């Protein structure tokens, strides 16, 4: 039946079956995985060759090689990068357009490790390099000890026409590495456009924005969110607050929040509006204020479960011995407890609401609304 269809229609079917985006599935918790069904290729020889071309056109493979056994787990678990092939199957795989070889030549101990190889798709390469960007901010001596070799190859050359990888594909392969900065050494091998390598290296040479700039930008975005909140533009306010988080290297995607760059902010600020203050403390205060405002926005949208989730996640991370009179964000902590309590109350959990209101009173002893809510729930506890 399939071969009775026009070739153009068959190609549309092949694209739908083999396109990576159509085979990417949600694993929960922000994780993704691929599941390809290749059984169509087994129907007969003609369909095999037709569909194989479409599969190769829509799935560009990248091989990652490192000497560290924990790298693969870090990439998958912390970077949320879907890994397609691992272990012995990955070691035998040679159909990649790009090999990314990472090693640490200054450390002799790693020279004796057997390289670990795993395969990802080109579609996920920007996610991989973004994770690398954040990893370096979290471990400031990381990149200065690493050598990166990028080897480009056409994995399916034709003997009579061994042309290189198309320029547009080369750009997609090299461009994401512009965010990986401060490496000990970078080499690009294989037949490639020198202009693309120069563009990548130019981007690599641009230094990170300083903690001072990041915190200033995050504060501006928070203030823009506050303006939107005042105008009852609650969705827009949440978008601005999440962009503010991103400016200080905290990635919020759905219910996932990845906190990067603690070491990056761990110093005294030397310029800007927060000069003389410690970067981590300024960042912490900003985080607390952003969470308090996001909870408020979700309450106004009547999205009580989202409000509860944002509040409870932050409450779970709070130390239990914060001195209210000494901490700059004590009022915002009180608001987190109060607003989370209101979410619990709306969801019917009166006992938890009462417990959190008792804590809110500790931080906001003069807030009449907080005290009134606490007193109103006390008889029910």
Q: Mean of the per-residue pLDDT values for the chain?
A: 91
The pLDDT of residue 26 is 87
pLDDT (average), residues 183-188: 97
Most confident of 29-33, 87-91, 111-115, 157-161: 87-91
Three-class HEC string of 255-280: CEEEECCCCCCCCECCCCCCCCCEHH
Could you give the CA distance from residue 372 to residue 361 in angstroms, rounded to a whole number? 10
Cα 335 from chain centre: 28
Could you give the CA distance from residue 14 to residue 12 in angstroms, rounded to a whole number? 5
pLDDT (average), residues 194-205: 98
240, 256 contact by CB (below 8 A): no
Question: Residue 112 — pLDDT band, cuts 50, 70, 90?
Answer: low
Q: b/e for 191-219, b at 16 or more Cβ within 10 A?
A: ebbeebbeebeebbeeebeebbebbbbbb
Phi-psi group of 302: left, alpha or beta (phi > 0 → left; psi -120 to 50 → alpha; rest → beta): left
Question: Residue 41 — pLDDT band, cuts 50, 70, 90?
Answer: confident
Could you give the CA distance from residue 354 to residue 378 in angstroms, rounded to a whole number? 7
Helices 7-18 and 45-58 pack at an angle, to 10 degrees, of 60
The residues, any chain, with a CB within 8 Å of residue 64's CB and separated by 6 or more, are: 71, 75, 100, 102, 117, 118, 119, 120, 128
The pLDDT of residue 311 is 96
Could you give the CA distance from residue 105 to residue 97 in angstroms, rounded to a whole number? 25
Could you give the CA distance from residue 301 to residue 307 in angstroms, rounded to a whole number? 9
- DSSP one-letter code for 82: P
pLDDT (average), residues 166-178: 97
Question: Residue 320 — pLDDT band, cuts 50, 70, 90?
Answer: low
Q: Given a cut of 60, is residue 161 above it in pLDDT?
A: no
Q: Given a cut of 90, is residue 46 above it in pLDDT?
A: no
Each residue's pLDDT tens digit, 341-368 = 999 999 999 999 999 999 999 999 999 9
Q: What is the pTM of this model?
A: 0.88
With vertex at residue 129, the alpha carbon angle to CA 194 and CA 108, rounded to the nearest 5 degrees, is 90
278 - beta bridge partners?
Answer: 268
pLDDT (average), residues 239-251: 97
Q: What six digits make up the tokens of 3?
A: 């071969």
Question: Residue 29 — pLDDT band, cuts 50, 70, 90?
Answer: confident
């Amino acid at each position: 039946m399939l071969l009775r269809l026009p070739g153009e229609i068959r190609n549309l079917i092949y694209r739908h079956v083999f396109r990576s985006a159509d085979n990417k599935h949600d694993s929960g918790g922000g994780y993704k995985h691929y599941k390809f069904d290749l059984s169509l290729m087994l129907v007969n020889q003609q369909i095999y060759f037709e569909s194989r071309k479409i599969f190769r056109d829509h799935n560009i493979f990248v091989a990652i090689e490192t000497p560290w056994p924990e790298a693969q787990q870090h990439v998958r678990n912390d970077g949320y990068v879907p890994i397609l092939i691992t272990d012995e199957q990955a070691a035998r795989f040679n159909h990649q357009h790009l090999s990314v070889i990472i090693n640490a030549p200054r450390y002799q101990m790693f020279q004796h490790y057997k390289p670990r190889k795993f395969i990802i798709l080109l579609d996920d390469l920007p996610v991989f390099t973004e994770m690398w960007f954040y990893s370096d901010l979290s471990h400031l001596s990381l990149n200065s000890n690493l050598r990166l070799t990028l080897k480009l190859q056409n994995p399916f050359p034709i003997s009579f026409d061994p042309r290189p990888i198309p320029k547009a594909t080369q750009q997609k392969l090299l461009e994401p590495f512009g965010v990986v900065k401060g490496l000990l050494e970078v080499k690009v091998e294989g037949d490639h456009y020198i202009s693309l390598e120069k563009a990548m290296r130019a981007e690599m040479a641009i230094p990170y924005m300083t903690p001072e700039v990041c915190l200033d930008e995050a504060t501006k975005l928070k203030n823009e969110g506050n303006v939107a909140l005042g105008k009852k533009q609650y969705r827009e306010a949440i978008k601005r607050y999440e962009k503010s988080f991103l400016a200080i290297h905290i990635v919020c995607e759905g219910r996932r929040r990845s906190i990067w760059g603690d070491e990056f902010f761990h110093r005294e600020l030397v310029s800007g509006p927060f000069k003389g203050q410690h970067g981590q403390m300024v960042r912490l205060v900003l985080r607390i204020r952003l969470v308090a405002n996001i909870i408020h926005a979700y309450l106004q949208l009547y999205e009580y479960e989202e409000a509860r989730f944002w509040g409870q996640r932050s409450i779970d991370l709070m130390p239990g011995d914060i001195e209210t009179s000494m901490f700059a964000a004590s009022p915002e902590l009180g608001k987190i407890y109060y607003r989370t309590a209101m979410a619990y109350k709306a969801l019917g959990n009166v006992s938890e609401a009462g417990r959190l209101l008792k804590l809110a009173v500790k931080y906001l002893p003069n807030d009449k609304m907080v005290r009134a809510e606490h007193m109103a729930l006390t008889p029910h506890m």
